[in-house]
A = this chain, B = another copy of it.
Amino acid sequence: MSDWQESRIGLVRIFIFRDFSKAIDFVNKVARIAEAEKHHPDILIHSYNQVKLSLFSHNEGQITCKDYAMAEKIDKLIYP
């Protein structure tokens, strides 16, 4: 989990892609996980090819095991 940073806004990681299109593909894959888990990260697509994800358990007001579990699933999209 070293590529994810715990912060005030949640468990955060920035992913960098070849281009905007690849970034959008990744966002759609993350969205499918989010819908399946009913747990919705904040997603920032910026600077053409970068995606910043913030995972946070709003009901609990903190980062929980649900966020760590989702981070692992998202990482598997990149390194299956």
Interface of A with B (CB < 8 Å)? 20-21, 24, 27-28, 31, 34-35, 40, 42-48
A44 to chain B, nearest CB (A): 5
A31 close to B42 (CB less than 8 A): no
Contact across chains for B42 and A45 when beta carbons are under 8 A apart:
yes
Q: Identify the closest chain B residue to A49 (Cβ).
A: B40
- The answer to whether B35 and A31 have CB atoms under 8 Å apart is no
Q: Are A31 and B40 in contact (CB under 8 A)?
A: no
* 12 pairs, A vs B, C-beta closer than 8 Å: A20-B35, A21-B31, A24-B27, A24-B31, A27-B27, A27-B45, A42-B46, A43-B43, A43-B44, A43-B45, A43-B46, A44-B44
